[in-house]
């Protein structure tokens, strides 16, 4: 098969690349990005280990011999993928991809860690699978910009199932036939509606874990000879038409430079534990606070925004101004703006049940409104804008044309490691440096799956 043979199906073209991909094909910058993704996800799993939603996911797990990051219990491979994916995404502090948007590490890393233990993979195969799965997830997001969300689905959940399946299959050294069947099978496992936005419920948290465990099953079934549809992406009833019916898929973005240019190198690491597109607004609000703007005498606070994020982060505006749960506050732009103006920070400790009842925060939330900017570049870039209008006619305004932590203003390796240590300590783990060394051991691409057990300590 030839990767650029457009007479083949999308899954066949992906399989042609994946079946020949080797660790030596990965550029150094891509390997570094894969390492940082691994580190970020492990830190987030530990940060969430004492939460009620992780406890619930663990209680539903099946017994086995696979690790849950930061826990002593052992569970089945699929349960490990589900619990670790849920923990990693639980605080919405994980990486994101401008141009999607999707979260990659929360699906791919739990899937590959479980697969590594299940199949006794070496670390070079694990890191290859992380890179391959992440690259496909980012490219699928570029193929269907904004449309998956518009249809009422969570892109990370839907597209992540395909990507994790691809990553596991590549790590396994699967044949083109197995990869095609596995992708076809995973299409019937992809799911994830965004109704959680209405009440701050927990289902978004489980989406990456569900995708990760589904990928394990899809690959196993394909290897056993189960037959999946070749046109799972572009067929009459395929994923493109089912999950993104409002647009024609930009398939050229899926294959343009595939294997030569790694778009995953532009992944963004979040500085704040909340919805991706809220983050530039927090930065802008913090800039205004640093400027010393008064918080009294405000008539209203108006933010320019992209039409594509209104239904998730701005509406219903009454609910966003008074988030019903701490989790719902993570997807409220008014709450993020209020945090930036009042507290000057937005940390894990700022998205709590106490915070959503803070009268000073709620007073400002009530003043925040939005206008749609038809020239906003979303999803190519995530921007922020805050305009404070005072009762006496004064105006204070600031904006930011990118998300901090991304290509325009990336977090340094030391900042990523500092975030890791802070998350590990937040989760009550007493030795972040030992845990970080375990991550670096896996990322070194030397040794085998036995190192993964170190992540449970």
pLDDT band at 6 (very low <50, low <70, confident <90, very high): low
Cβ–Cβ < 8 Å for 405, 413: no
CB atoms within 10 A of CB 16: 21
Give buried/exposed letters for 168-184 (b at 16+ CB in 10 A, else e).
Answer: bbbbbebebebbbbbbb
- Measuring CA to CA, how many Å separate 93 from each of 109, 165, 184, 341, 351? 15, 23, 31, 20, 12
pLDDT band at 98 (very low <50, low <70, confident <90, very high): confident
- Measuring CA to CA, how many Å separate 340 from each of 221, 289, 329, 336, 389? 48, 7, 13, 6, 17
Q: Could you read off the pLDDT of 181-221 as tens digits, one per residue?
A: 999 999 999 999 999 877 878 999 999 999 999 999 999 99
Closest by CA position to 116, among listed 437, 456, 452: 452
pLDDT of residue 2 exceeding 50, the answer is: no
Quick one: 444 exposed, middle or buried, by C-beta within 10 A (0-12, 13-18, 19+)? Answer: middle
Phi, psi of 9 (to 5 degrees): -70, 165
End-to-end CA distance of the chain: 44
Pairs from 63-69 (Cβ < 8 Å, separation ≥ 24): 65/117, 66/114, 66/117, 66/118, 67/113, 67/117, 67/452, 67/453, 67/455, 67/456, 68/456, 69/42, 69/45, 69/113, 69/455, 69/456
Q: Which two tokens stand for residue 270?
A: 């979040």
> Quick one: angle between helices 28-47 and 105-119, nearest 10?
90
Residue 296 makes CB contacts below 8 A (sequence gap 6+) with none
Q: Could you read off the pLDDT of 362-380 as tens digits, one per residue?
A: 999 999 999 999 999 998 8
Residue 316: cis peptide before it, omega within 30 degrees of 0? yes
Cβ–Cβ < 8 Å for 285, 386: yes
Q: Could you read off the pLDDT of 294-323 as tens digits, one per residue?
A: 999 999 999 999 999 999 999 999 999 999
What domains can you pick out in the chain, each with its CATH number? 10-270+412-456 (1.10.4100.10), 276-400 (3.30.1330.120)
Closest by CA position to 141, among listed 129, 152, 157: 157
Rounded Cα–Cα distance for residues 434 and 451 (Å): 12
Average pLDDT over residues 2-18: 84
pLDDT at 200: 78
Q: How many residues does the chain have?
A: 457
Q: Could you read off the pLDDT of 403-444 as tens digits, one per residue?
A: 999 999 999 999 999 999 999 999 999 899 999 999 999 999
Answering whether pTM is above 0.85, one says yes
């Amino acid at each position: 098969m030839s990767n650029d043979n457009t007479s083949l199906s999308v899954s066949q073209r992906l399989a042609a690349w994946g079946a020949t991909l080797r660790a030596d094909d990965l550029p150094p910058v891509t390997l570094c990005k894969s390492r940082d993704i691994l580190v970020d996800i492990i830190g987030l799993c530990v940060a969430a280990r004492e939460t009620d939603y992780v406890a619930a996911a663990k209680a539903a797990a099946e017994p086995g011999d696979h690790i849950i990051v930061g826990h002593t219990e052992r569970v089945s491979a699929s349960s490990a993928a589900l619990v670790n994916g849920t923990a990693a995404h639980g605080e919405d502090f994980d990486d994101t991809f401008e141009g999607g948007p999707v979260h990659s590490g929360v699906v791919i890393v739990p899937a590959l860690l479980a697969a590594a233990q299940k199949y006794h993979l070496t670390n070079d195969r694990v890191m290859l699978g992380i890179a391959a799965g992440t690259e496909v997830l980012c490219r699928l997001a570029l193929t269907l910009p904004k449309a998956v969300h518009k249809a009422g689905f969570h892109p990370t959940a839907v597209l992540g199932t395909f990507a994790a399946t691809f990553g596991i299959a590549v790590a396994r050294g699967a044949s083109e036939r197995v990869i095609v069947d596995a992708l076809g099978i995973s299409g019937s496992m992809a799911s994830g509606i965004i109704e959680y936005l209405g009440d701050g419920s927990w289902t978004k948290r489980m989406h990456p874990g569900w995708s990760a465990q589904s990928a394990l099953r899809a690959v196993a079934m394909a290897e056993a000879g189960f037959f999946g549809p070749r046109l799972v992406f572009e067929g009459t009833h395929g994923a493109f038409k089912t999950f993104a019916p409002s647009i024609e898929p930009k398939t050229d973005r899926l294959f343009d430079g595939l294997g030569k240019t790694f778009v995953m190198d532009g992944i963004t690491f979040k500085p704040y534990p909340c919805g991706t597109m809220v983050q530039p607004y927090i930065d802008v609000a913090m800039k205004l606070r640093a400027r010393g703007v008064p918080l009294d005498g405000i008539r209203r606070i108006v933010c320019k925004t992209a039409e594509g994020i209104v239904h998730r982060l701005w509406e219903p505006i009454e609910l966003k101004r008074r988030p019903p749960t701490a989790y719902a506050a993570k997807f409220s732009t008014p709450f993020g703006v209020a945090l930036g103006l009042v507290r000057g920070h937005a940390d894990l400790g700022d998205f709590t049940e106490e915070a959503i009842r803070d009268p000073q925060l709620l007073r400002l939330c009530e003043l925040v409104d939005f206008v749609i900017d038809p020239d906003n570049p979303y999803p190519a870039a995530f921007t922020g804008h805050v305009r404070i209008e005072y009762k006496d006619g004064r105006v204070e305004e600031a904006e930011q044309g990118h998300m901090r932590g991304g290509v325009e203003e990336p977090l340094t390796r030391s900042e990523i490691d500092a975030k890791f240590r802070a998350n590990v300590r937040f989760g009550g783990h007493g030795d972040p440096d030992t845990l970080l060394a375990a991550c670096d051991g896996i990322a070194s691409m030397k040794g085998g799956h036995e190192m993964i057990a170190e992540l449970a300590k």
